[in-house]
């Protein structure tokens, strides 16, 4: 599985950490340096490709992934 992190309104440079099982498997994703109370979008796909993003303000844009899926998550009070 491939990942792309789309960080909107970042207060500082975002930092992304992956931990957990080797691919394929369950991974934990930790992101810091975002705007407190903001939103972040995660895009996952089944591999490298050129399928379009399915929705959102960037819907229809080339994702760089095959079969992309988009999820929006609210950031906590620490960002």
Full-model pTM: 0.63
Token look-up 């991974």 returns 27
Token pair, residue 26, equals 């369950």
Using one digit for the tens of pLDDT, what is the confidence trace for 22-77? Answer: 767 777 888 888 888 888 888 888 888 889 888 777 788 888 888 888 888 888 88
Nearest C-alpha neighbor of 35 from the set 14, 7, 11? 11
Evaluate if residue 8 carries a pLDDT over 70: no
CA distances from 57 to 6, 8, 25, 75 (A): 12, 11, 30, 19
Token pair, residue 75, equals 């950031």
Total Cβ atoms within 10 A of residue 56: 14
């Amino acid at each position: 599985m491939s990942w792309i992190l789309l960080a909107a309104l970042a207060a500082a440079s975002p930092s992304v950490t992956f931990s957990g099982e080797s691919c394929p498997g369950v991974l934990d994703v930790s992101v810091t340096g975002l705007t407190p109370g903001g939103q972040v979008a995660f895009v996952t796909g089944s591999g490298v490709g050129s399928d379009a993003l399915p929705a959102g303000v960037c819907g229809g844009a080339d994702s760089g992934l095959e079969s992309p899926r988009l999820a929006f998550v609210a950031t906590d009070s620490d960002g």
